Chains A and B, each alone.
Chain A
Amino acid sequence: MFKKTYLSAALTVLLSHSFAASAANDPDLQAIREQIQQLKQSYEQRITQLEQRLAQAEADSRVPVQAQPAAQAASESAFNPAILLVLGGTYGQLQQNPDVPATGFAMSAHPGHSQGFNLGESELSIAANIDPDYRGVATLALASTGGVSVENAFVQTSANGLKLKFGRYFSGLGYLNEQHAHIWDFVDQPLVYASLWNNQLGEDGVQIKWLAPTDTFIEVGAELGRGRGFPGTDRVKNGIGSGVLFAHIGDDLGVEHSWRAGVSLHQTRRVDAISTAIADLPGTLGGVSNSFSGDSRTAGMDFVWKYSPDGNSRNSYVKVQGEYFRRRESGLLTYDTAVASITDSYSVTQSGWYLQGVYQFMPHWRSGLRYDRLDPGIASVGALNAGNIISNYGFQPTRTSLMLDYSPSEFSRLRLQMARDHSRQGLPDHQFFVQYIMSLGAHGAHSY
């Protein structure tokens, strides 16, 4: 712009100057004058052209930029389907065989952690909207032994606060049950989950949840399933193998605090549930196999409370959670299925709870403390088995775990965990774990 103005000004001055100088009427001068005239015309033409081009360019840049719709909505369908691969592994340094269950909980033989190097919770998850109404999710767990198992495979739909889910899913009872292993705050599940739910209750069935139209979060849900997951015995028959009822309530307190509390009920009929030949007491080495058939009813309570300064959980937060479950089982127990095979009545009420806190003390770094306790209860054993079955262990399993983890980014986490495990009578264990959890692919959204 300025250049152009200077140029014309300079030319004008130059030309007017030369005109003034040509007072004499000389043919040479006449020729020069014509040449200059031509030169002037040619410059003026070019200047006009330049002006037009400049005006055009300015007009172009002034045209409001047509808003281009961003390539994708922020739904997970941005990657259609959303594929998330979680790579996880642990190293466990244990002093006792992890296959020995907590004292009094012989029916559940899975502690949720392993010895030595092992491929922990590696899983592949695929999710996408199926059509405007349905969404599908499949999670395949890569077992450390080499197999692939279907952890979740469900379809969900919702309208008017009603949410329907069917297929294979983690039950909505409690707080931790629905959470996948890669978002656990510790390497392993609390003892009460390990002993009463075999770490996590997975079900094949139908779940319906209803969210109340209130400002406070109030949700009730029910599930009807096959009874696939422990304590169910996965029978192949018509009808319903297990039922779950749960309710959750939650809200915020100001901008810094939030909480959720819940109650749940679970019922299933167990048929020929076997406790395998595991020495669950010193002195019963080798053990025997027992079989139980009867009703199993469990009630639970859970709560979680979170705090972060200004509600900004990126920098630091505190999360405290606790759950309590109480299970009543009554039916018939067969002692020593292989040899003696003596059947009589059996009933017991067992319970357990944990309380844990996790503190993110600076971005990336978190520490956590968890205390576990189980009560194996005092069993009523029928007269025929009174001399065969231990009815009162007089021992309450406990464990204390300490955790420190570091997350270089949202997609990676490295963890150290130490535990003093007194869950098995006479077999105290000092445990040490190193764990990595890495997720690649779609940016997963986490539930509360």
Chain B
Amino acid sequence: MNKFLFLTLLFFSTASHAALNVFACEPEWAALTRLLAGDKASLYTATSALQDPHRVEARPSLIARARRADLLICTGAGLETAWLPVIVRESGNAAIRPGSNGYFEAARYVQMLEIPTRLDRSDGDVHAAGNPHIQTDARNFLPVADALSQRLILLDPANTGYYRQQLATFNQQWRDAIAKWEKQAAPLKGISIVAQHRGFPYLNNWLGLKQVAELEARPGMEPSAAHLSRVLNELQQAKMVLRAAYQDERPSAWIAERARINAVVLPYTVGGTSQTIDLFGLFDDTIARLLTGIK
């Protein structure tokens, strides 16, 4: 745990003499920026893997860090609605206002899943732009990296050559890694799973996992005991129940014990488990944990 905290703190620390001040809303985008910008960017990560990115306090420290940011990198698609608008507004920083070059939303560059056909809060905390948890499919990082690299070049043209080279290296390594992960994950295809929160559609879509139930009756609302027992009846065929590192472990533990299936906690983002110190580690560990779940 201490080692893990140390790693988290490492992420919050910043380099001093860098060209671009980057404010990343979530650790995965900080990790991607580190790969693409190296020491050309000074990074600040607003949330850790153990925090629910939907519900983050608009803390004074976040406002202060956004004040000098040249680039804000967030997921978008409504994930940060509850806190980011306050941060951007209170920072008084025109460079990172929505619509400006300093405002980058990763979700704009990937194919969104679960775009609701109706918008009604009786369905829970639905996201109009689709499910925002895009970082669970490794393939999504390719278009995002491409767009992010272009944005870095736009903001810091002096280092164009460097950013291009970093992107090329990333693309090569990432494609190889995807091939490797897909090969490793072959046994997962068609496996039935249960999800605690509607947070894994991209992972399911990528690796062919079949989600048979979810523990939250409606997205963003804690599962009730009545709903849990209903789900229990539905999941005799499921192999495991998945939850993200930041989520309460009790609902999935309850289900796992009664349905006699494995409860698997996934890092969800960089820093979610002690093995996930970078993006490559994130997927190495995610797949390793899923494979343990089907044993």
Indicate if A217 sits at the interface (CB-CB under 8 A). yes
**Bound-complex Cα distance A259 to B59 (A):** 8
Binds B, one of A101-109, A160-168, A285-293: A160-168
Minimum distance in angstroms from A231 CB to a CB of chain B: 28
Indicate if A76 sits at the interface (CB-CB under 8 A). yes
For residue B121, which residues in chain A have a CB less than 8 angstroms away from its CB?
409, 411, 440
Contact status B86-A409, CB under 8 Å: no
Contact status A217-B84, CB under 8 Å: no
Minimum distance in angstroms from A275 CB to a CB of chain B: 38
Residue of A nearest to B82 (CB): A445
Contact status B112-A68, CB under 8 Å: yes
Indicate if A132 sits at the interface (CB-CB under 8 A). yes
Indicate if B157 sits at the interface (CB-CB under 8 A). no
Query: Within A63-84, which residues are at the interface with B (CB < 8 Å)?
Result: 64-65, 67-78
Indicate if B99 sits at the interface (CB-CB under 8 A). yes
Contact status A217-B63, CB under 8 Å: yes
Decide yes or no: A158 and B81 within 8 Å by CB, A68-B112, A311-B50, A448-B60 being known contacts.
no
Query: Within B224-243, which residues are at the interface with A (CB < 8 Å)?
Result: none
For residue B52, which residues in chain A have a CB less than 8 angstroms away from its CB?
312, 314
Binds B, one of A31-39, A235-243, A248-256: A248-256
Indicate if B293 sits at the interface (CB-CB under 8 A). no
Decide yes or no: A447 and B81 within 8 Å by CB, A161-B67, A217-B63, A306-B57 being known contacts.
no
Partner of B105, one of A73, A216, A258: A73
**Bound-complex Cα distance A363 to B124 (A):** 16
Indicate if A135 sits at the interface (CB-CB under 8 A). yes
Query: Within B96-141, which residues are at the interface with A (CB < 8 Å)?
Result: 97-99, 103, 105, 107-112, 121, 124-125, 128-130
Partner of B74, one of A74, A132, A410, A446: A74
Partner of B58, one of A68, A210, A252, A445: A445
**Bound-complex Cα distance A364 to B221 (A):** 9
For residue A24, which residues in chain B have a CB less than 8 angstroms away from its CB?
none
Indicate if A260 sits at the interface (CB-CB under 8 A). yes
Minimum distance in angstroms from A303 CB to a CB of chain B: 12
For residue B129, which residues in chain A have a CB less than 8 angstroms away from its CB?
70-72, 74, 78
For residue A447, which residues in chain B have a CB less than 8 angstroms away from its CB?
58, 86, 90
Minimum distance in angstroms from A258 CB to a CB of chain B: 5
Contact status A160-B76, CB under 8 Å: no
Contact status A410-B248, CB under 8 Å: no
Query: Within A198-255, which residues are at the interface with B (CB < 8 Å)?
Result: 209-218, 248-252, 254-255
For residue B91, which residues in chain A have a CB less than 8 angstroms away from its CB?
161, 211
Residue interface bits A155-183, CB-to-B below 8 A is 1, else 0: 01011111100000000000000000000
**Bound-complex Cα distance A447 to B91 (A):** 12
Contact status A215-B65, CB under 8 Å: yes
Decide yes or no: A311 and B48 within 8 Å by CB, A71-B129, A74-B105 being known contacts.
yes
Interface centre among A209, A248, A445 (most CB of B within 10 A): A445
For residue A448, which residues in chain B have a CB less than 8 angstroms away from its CB?
57-60, 86
For residue B190, which residues in chain A have a CB less than 8 angstroms away from its CB?
none
Indicate if B92 sits at the interface (CB-CB under 8 A). yes
Interface centre among A69, A77, A216 (most CB of B within 10 A): A69
Partner of B112, one of A70, A74, A210, A251: A70
Residue interface bits A415-448, CB-to-B below 8 A is 1, else 0: 0000000000000000000000000100111111
Contact status B111-A211, CB under 8 Å: no
Contact status A311-B51, CB under 8 Å: yes
Indicate if B64 sits at the interface (CB-CB under 8 A). yes
For residue A65, which residues in chain B have a CB less than 8 angstroms away from its CB?
111
Minimum distance in angstroms from B229 CB to a CB of chain A: 19
Interface centre among A73, A259, A447 (most CB of B within 10 A): A73
Indicate if A310 sits at the interface (CB-CB under 8 A). yes
Contact status A313-B55, CB under 8 Å: yes
Residue of B nearest to A160 (CB): B92
Decide yes or no: A214 and B77 within 8 Å by CB, A73-B98, A162-B92 being known contacts.
no
**Bound-complex Cα distance A386 to B48 (A):** 64
Contact status B74-A255, CB under 8 Å: no
Indicate if B162 sits at the interface (CB-CB under 8 A). no
**Bound-complex Cα distance A209 to B82 (A):** 23
Residue of A nearest to B52 (CB): A314
Contact status A314-B54, CB under 8 Å: yes
Contact status A67-B143, CB under 8 Å: yes
Indicate if A408 sits at the interface (CB-CB under 8 A). yes
Contact status A67-B109, CB under 8 Å: yes
Contact status A250-B60, CB under 8 Å: yes
Contact status A363-B222, CB under 8 Å: yes
For residue A408, which residues in chain B have a CB less than 8 angstroms away from its CB?
221
For residue B56, which residues in chain A have a CB less than 8 angstroms away from its CB?
313
**Bound-complex Cα distance A315 to B99 (A):** 33
Residue interface bits A307-339, CB-to-B below 8 A is 1, else 0: 000111111000000000000000000000000
Indicate if B94 sits at the interface (CB-CB under 8 A). yes
For residue B292, which residues in chain A have a CB less than 8 angstroms away from its CB?
none
Indicate if B12 sits at the interface (CB-CB under 8 A). yes
Partner of B84, one of A74, A218, A251, A313: A74
Query: What are 22 residue pairs bridging A and B, where the CB atoms are less than 8 Å apart in the complex?
Result: A67-B108, A76-B81, A77-B98, A135-B89, A158-B92, A159-B94, A161-B92, A209-B92, A211-B64, A211-B90, A216-B61, A216-B64, A249-B60, A259-B60, A312-B52, A312-B246, A314-B246, A315-B248, A363-B222, A410-B82, A443-B82, A446-B86
Task: Given A132-B97, A250-B60, A410-B55, output 14 extra A-B contacts at Cβ < 8 Å.
Answer: A73-B108, A74-B79, A74-B84, A160-B94, A251-B61, A254-B5, A255-B5, A310-B246, A313-B51, A409-B124, A410-B220, A446-B83, A447-B90, A448-B57
Give me the interface of B with A, judged by CB distance under 8 Å: 5, 8-9, 12, 47-48, 50-52, 54-61, 63-65, 67-68, 74, 76-86, 89-94, 97-99, 103, 105, 107-112, 121, 124-125, 128-130, 143, 147, 220-222, 246, 248
4 closest pairs, A vs B, by CB?
A: A250-B60, A217-B60, A310-B50, A217-B64
